[in-house]
Structure 1
């Protein structure tokens, strides 16, 4: 099989459109379509169902995509390892983290790393789903739980504590709760239904001091920590907020400070194959230094 055609096929399969794939590949839509047709002809099987709303992989197309995706992932890994054989850290470094941690903590500190290592092209990918490091969707990750995959190198970074918080405007308008029972008379914001396993216990305020199976009603449910913080900041109500966010927000105050919420451990992880990568080593050291400088 022609590798150029497979590269184009891989892009089309992810874009689900000849036009979008052409933009990514800097080719015309007709050129992309011709390459896919030639690949299908050489394999004597259709790879896509053509629909007005886009392209859908056939069963054979799905099989080929999975195979090509795995091969390209391994080639990308090999390229990264070869690049790191040079004397100084350089090249692309893809870092993934959750939307909240990446937005509030990492993005506020990444400047020091970028300025210290200008030859490293940092790409931060914020996503609440876990990107596949083995398939090189990212090089390294900050995870809010201990990874289960045996082929990942992991380094514990810090503990994240959840505290009950509200905005100063909310407290001025509705008063400061003094006891757990006072929460029954306040507006609560919670993470929402079907919280992921990694955020187990994040809605502790709804259950705190309540009979089993009878949680407090929430004024708002929102399945994103960043959005939850914005709602609290607006003065809507009280919510559980990670300390790496609340400590840097003068508009937010802790309520019921004698009560602690859940604790999550954060880990820096990357594939075993990249253990000797210079750019990952210096990024690891940067994170450890940033954690040390952070007062919790």
Structure 2
């Protein structure tokens, strides 16, 4: 008997079956299109039959592929129910968190654990900015992006993303009695937390700049990696002032420009309305709301300077 494919590969198949497009499936899974294509090709080779036919406008399920969808969806649902029951009995809150938000979340959760040892919170970092409670075994998640509109979710707005350039103190030599402008970034390495450079372009656009002031650049898959590189003095990154408030306070990085620009995206705590949230989850949500309120009220966490 052949060994079973991994749950990750089967989950990828279900997403592709829903989207019928490798690129859109990759966006949902927050991986590359090539990675999705390789997983599907490997699964087809393992099973010995094709799951999709390639067409000019996308994909179509084969007869064999279509037969797999409903049983696999049911299997994932059953696994989710079993793990949810086990998690409820263990008393552990399982929270998914995007890596970019871990700078803000993890120190606070550790402090909570020290203050409330009876409230056990297990945070799992992920490059994904969303969550699928039907397929992923979490009690709650911190998600990033537009306001979640999925039915059946309780949503707590934590704080908005507010962008400004940051770098190591030794990398920035301010000009005396002269306010900094994006021209001061010429010749410096710009660290990009997104492949499309949208964060830098949004902030520069608020200054009236249509392009990048420097041709030197490095790209990263996550904001956390870009910020870590900036702390090492490797360049200037665009950062969310709420996520790096502790780093700014400790002067591990500095924010040389007064302009802060809201991107329109935000961080949210979400969890299913049903089954009813446990008392532990309600307490955690209330506590996290309080932490986020403090962050929102911190000077510099809101937009300032010119409007964009």
**Shared fold (TM-score, shorter chain, > 0.5):** yes
CA deviation vs aligned residue, 1:232-271 (integer Å, no higher than 9, x gap): 11212222111134321212111121x2223432211100
Q: What corresponds to 1:140 in structure 2?
A: 140
Distance 1:149 1:136, change over 3 A: same
CA deviation vs aligned residue, 1:36-88 (integer Å, no higher than 9, x gap): xxxxxxxxxxxx8785xxxx99745565333211222234445666x4xxxxx
Residue 168 of structure 1: how far off its partner (Å): 0.9
Q: What corresponds to 2:283 in structure 1?
A: 282
Q: Is the 8 A contact 1:189 1:220 kept in 2?
A: yes
1:194-209 map, 5 Å: 194=196, 201=199, 203-205=201-203, 207=205, 209=207
Residue 224 of structure 1: how far off its partner (Å): 0.9
1:125-204 map, 5 Å: 125-129=124-128, 130-145=130-145, 146-172=147-173, 178-194=180-196, 201=199, 203-204=201-202
Q: Distance in 2 between matches of 1:218 and 1:205?
A: 17
Q: What corresponds to 1:241 in structure 2?
A: 239
Residue 127 of structure 1: how far off its partner (Å): 0.9
Q: What is the CA RMSD across the aligned residues, in angstroms?
A: 3.6
Q: What corresponds to 1:231 in structure 2?
A: 229
Residue 99 of structure 1: how far off its partner (Å): 0.3
- Secondary structure (helix, strand or coil) at the match of 1:273 reads coil
Q: Is the 8 A contact 2:166 2:254 kept in 1?
A: yes
Residue 94 of structure 1: how far off its partner (Å): 0.8
Which portions of structure 1, spanning 4 or more consecutive aligned residues, are displaced by more than 6 angstroms?
173-177
CA deviation vs aligned residue, 1:213-239 (integer Å, no higher than 9, x gap): x44434211121111011111212222
Distance 1:162 1:283, change over 3 A: same
* 1:91 counterpart = 2:91: yes
Which stretch of the first structure deviates more once superposed, 164-173 or 220-229? 164-173
- Secondary structure (helix, strand or coil) at the match of 2:274 reads helix
User: Could you state the TM-score of these two structures normalised by the residue count of structure 1?
Assistant: 0.67
Q: Is the 8 A contact 1:163 1:240 kept in 2?
A: yes
Which stretch of the first structure deviates more once superposed, 121-130 or 286-295? 286-295
CA deviation vs aligned residue, 1:80-103 (integer Å, no higher than 9, x gap): 66x4xxxxxx6121101110212x
Q: Max radius of gyration: which structure? A: 1
Residue-pair matches, total: 242
CA deviation vs aligned residue, 1:172-231 (integer Å, no higher than 9, x gap): 499997223333343322223247xxxx6454346565664x444342111211110111
- Secondary structure (helix, strand or coil) at the match of 1:182 reads helix
Q: What corresponds to 2:260 in structure 1?
A: 260
* 1:66 counterpart = 2:73: yes
- Structure 1: any 5+ residue segments left out of the alignment? 1-8, 17-47, 84-89
Q: What corresponds to 1:269 in structure 2?
A: 270
User: Could you state the TM-score of these two structures normalised by the residue count of structure 2?
Assistant: 0.65
Q: Distance in 2 between matches of 1:162 and 1:155?
A: 21
